[in-house]
Amino acid sequence: TGLGRWSWILFEGKHNFRTRIISAYVPCKSSIDRHQTVYNQHRRYFHKIGILGCPRKLMHQQLTQQIREWQRKGENIILLIDANENLSNMGPLQTMLLYECQLIDPIRNRYHNKNHPLPATSLTGSAPIDSIFVSPSLQK
């Protein structure tokens, strides 16, 4: 789309071992009167080309579709993402990444404890909204 929702770099090692590192940003939902927000800029772009719907949901769908395409080519994935959803819960994007893309969240797998919730990932926030998701073969 050219919207800058994610960018990536592909590394190739020995024996055709390929790893794609992706940096992604999911815009925060905002009211329609806040014209300059990323969410509304994306909404206007999609409406102009005849795609109605929430830019966040479109990003979730398009990002997971793209990741699955790269995986079909045999690539490993490292996704660094500002999801702007509470990753302490199993939200829509997190569900798609874990179950549709079969990625894992090694930070939460190692340190998550119900008695000690993960800290917020922004200075002013109250929940972890950023994370790293990886192909299972990379966790070793």
Which of the two residues, 90 and 132, has the higher pLDDT score?
132
9 phi and psi angles, rounded to 5 deg: -140, 140
% of the chain at pLDDT higher than 90: 56
Residue 47 neighbours by CB distance under 10 Å:
12
- For the entire predicted model, the pTM comes to 0.88
Residue 39 CA to residue 43 CA, distance in Å, equals 6
**pLDDT of res. 95:** 92
Q: Which residue has the higher pLDDT, 38 or 30?
A: 38
Share of the chain above pLDDT 70, in %: 94
Rounded to the nearest integer, the mean pLDDT of the chain is 89
Q: Name beta bridge partners: 8.
A: 22
Position 86 scores a pLDDT of: 87
User: Is residue 41 predicted with pLDDT exceeding 70?
Assistant: yes
Structural contact between residues 86 and 132, judged by C-beta atoms closer than 8 angstroms:
no
